[in-house]
Amino acid sequence: MDILYQDEALLVVNKPAGLSTLPDGYNPSLPHVKSLLEQQAGRLWIVHRLDKETSGVLLLARSAEAHRALNTQFEQHQVSKTYHALVTGNPEWQEQTINLPLRPNGDRSHRTVIDHDAGKPALTQLKVLECFSHYCLVEAAPETGRTHQIRVHLSSVGLYIVGDKLYADRNRDIPAELASQPLNDVGLIKIPTVGMGLHARSLEITHPISRQRLKFEAAYPDWLEDVLQLLRTTSQTG
């Protein structure tokens, strides 16, 4: 797990996909971010969470005081978060605002659902960064922090995150022309087993002690970088 920044108040890491932020409710013995980092960094406080299959910037506090200050920033929407998502589909728009209320555990699969009556407000700003033959890379900036917010909001406009086993449209498979490409072990065919195409790209906060505004950015995981390069090559030659 790459450390992006650390001082007496903060620890910021690039979380890999497949690793939970906190103990797994069904199997507490599985490794998780907090337990692994505390072995070297001492006691830590989780400030926010990333889904198990989401990679990218994760912030932890190194004191109770820093934890309280950072929690306040999140609660008062003083934190800027951006995610990059590789999705199936090509939208006709370049930018879109999704403002749909969400309710967690809304169906038998324990998915978050759009619920105009009982859901809590949720707002996500979307921007298309790159388009390929059958995919696009989208930047998502959530202004609220609902469970699975980006995954649900993207699917609400017909965009499904590659490798998302919970929300992806199972009728949208790997296109034949890409499936026939000679792929390496982390190529398109293997995406669901490597991770989900959702990456917490950057996080901007105010330092709880110095009050300096800080921005942290996490590099893509190798498999996602490989897939993007393949898509760029395929789009140019197709």
| 63 CB-contact burial (10 Å; exposed 0-12 / middle 13-18 / buried 19+) | middle
Q: Which residues contact 140 (CB under 8 A, 6 or more apart)?
A: 82, 83, 84, 85, 124, 125, 126, 150, 153, 154
Q: Active-site residue 51, yes or no?
A: yes
Of the candidates 7, 24, 51, 115, the residue annotated as catalytic is 51
Q: What amino acid positions are annotated as catalytic residues?
A: 51
